[in-house]
Amino acid sequence: MKKSKSIIALNRKAKFNYQIIDQIEVGIVLTGAEVKSIRKGRVSLDNSYAVDKKGEFWINNLYVDLKNYENSPETANNIRSRKLLLNKTEIYKINMKVKQNGLTMIPLDLHFNNKGFIKILLGISKGRKKGDLREYKKQQDWKREKARLEKK
């Protein structure tokens, strides 16, 4: 029997601040205390992003609250860089998109997959300019108003 994907944390500002072009689900390397904290929901995706370092992808500024785990050696570093698990062909394809088009990789959500592993949904995206943000906000407001009017 398959489990449904259960979301642990969302990056709500991502779809507002960035235009999502492509999405990819990747694994992440975590320690035991980090997994316990993430299972309790003590994680924040705000201001986090992924970068390429020597042919490997790392996620920066992913905050995992470890204050209840004094015995763990990583308690002093809640925002350390964490390695993302991708194969060589995926890394190559993502690098081509990011470097040619000047795109950014940001996490959209953190979730458990069907087998219970913690995964990150990365969005390959382009930042919106101030005028684009206003236009996006207008469209969202119009959709909301239209749905309200259709209910009545």
Range from 31-35, 55-59, 118-122 carrying the lowest mean pLDDT: 31-35
Contact 118, 112 (CB under 8 A): yes
Please tell me which residue, 132 or 91, carries the higher pLDDT value.
91
Closest CA relative to residue 79, chosen from 106, 41, 32, 47: 47
pLDDT digits (tens, 9 = 90+) for 75-115: 457 788 899 999 888 888 888 888 878 788 999 999 988 88
Confidence of residue 72 (pLDDT cuts 50, 70, 90): low
Count Cβ atoms within 10 A of the Cβ of residue 139 and give its class: 0-12 exposed, 13-18 middle, 19 or more buried: exposed
What Å distances lie between residue 50 and 13, 58, 77, 108, 131, CA to CA? 16, 5, 18, 11, 26
Average pLDDT of the segment spanning 11-24:
86
pLDDT of residue 1: 41
Note the pLDDT of residue 58.
Answer: 92
Q: Which residues of 73-89 are buried (b: 16+ CB within 10 A; e: fewer)?
A: eeeeebeeebebebeee
Residue 42, strand partner residues: none
What average pLDDT does the segment 33-51 reach?
A: 87
* Mean pLDDT of the residues in the chain: 83
Evaluate if residue 120 carries a pLDDT over 90: yes
CB count in 10 Å sphere of residue 107: 24
pLDDT at 76: 55
